[in-house]
Amino acid sequence: MKRLAIYCGSATPADPVYIDNARFVGRTLAERGIGVVYGGGRLGLMGAVADAALEAGGEVIGVIPQALVDAEVAHRGCTELHVVRTMHERKQAFTDMSDGFVTLPGGTGTMDELWEAMSWAQIGYHANPVGLLNVSGYYDGLIQFVAKMGEVGFLRPQHQSILLIDDTLDGLLDKMAGHVPATTIGQIGSRDL
């Protein structure tokens, strides 16, 4: 994996564990020679990932909608900063420029990015690994919900392994390195849907 898209929040939670972990992720990826593609912001976890990767000599590519540039939240110190018109263009750029996706804690925007990466893997728009780093149990409820989707039948058996989950970055990166793309909806066939 040469570049990973990092999905995470632009907020700074009161508990420092989230910012500290974001810095750890940015620094570790840079030290491993893995470039960061992210939302292009300078605030919160986004800024922490970018700053730590840059400080460690890593490549950081920001992709940010013009509206957020206008709101003065763009990180001007990125290796590259791509300004796009819409959030959809931003997510497409993440997919085009990355070899996988790592989701750190975040809010609705982060969830939007994660769900799209998962659904695009189901459809076959990409074959990259989709990772979830469960920092301090932040995603415990989401992990239970994904399992529930499978139990009820809204997440097909062929797609239940799309989301790779770990509590540690090393464990998650190992799982992503061993990723086998899911059987896509088109490959399943209509009789099995």
**What CATH number is associated with residue 46?**
3.40.50.450
Closest among 9, 5, 13, 12 to 111, alpha carbons compared: 9
Distance CA 127, CA 36 (A): 18
Q: Which two tokens stand for residue 106?
A: 């975040």
Name the pTM for this structure. 0.94
Q: Quickly list H helices, the chain.
A: 17-31, 44-55, 66-70, 87-97, 108-123, 140-152, 169-177, 185-188
Domains held by the chain: number: 1
pLDDT at 192: 54
User: What is the residue range of 122's domain?
Assistant: 3-192
pLDDT by 10s per residue, the chain, length 193 = 999 999 999 999 999 999 999 999 999 999 999 999 999 999 999 999 999 999 999 999 999 999 999 999 999 999 999 999 999 999 999 999 999 999 999 999 999 999 999 999 999 999 999 999 999 999 999 999 999 999 999 999 889 999 999 999 999 999 999 999 988 888 876 555 5
pLDDT value at residue 188: 76
CA distance 30 to 191: 45
**Residues in contact with 131: Cβ distance below 8 Å, sequence separation at least 6, in sequence order:** 100, 101, 102, 103, 163, 164, 165, 166, 172, 173, 175, 176
Nearest CA among 34, 19, 3 for reference residue 106: 19
Count Cβ atoms below 10 Å from residue 80 Cβ, excluding itself. 13
Written as one string, the DSSP assignment of 94-121 is HHHH-S-EEE-S--HHHHHHHHHHHHHH
Residue 189: per-residue pLDDT = 64
Beta carbons within 8 Å of 51's beta carbon, 6+ residues apart: 23, 26, 77
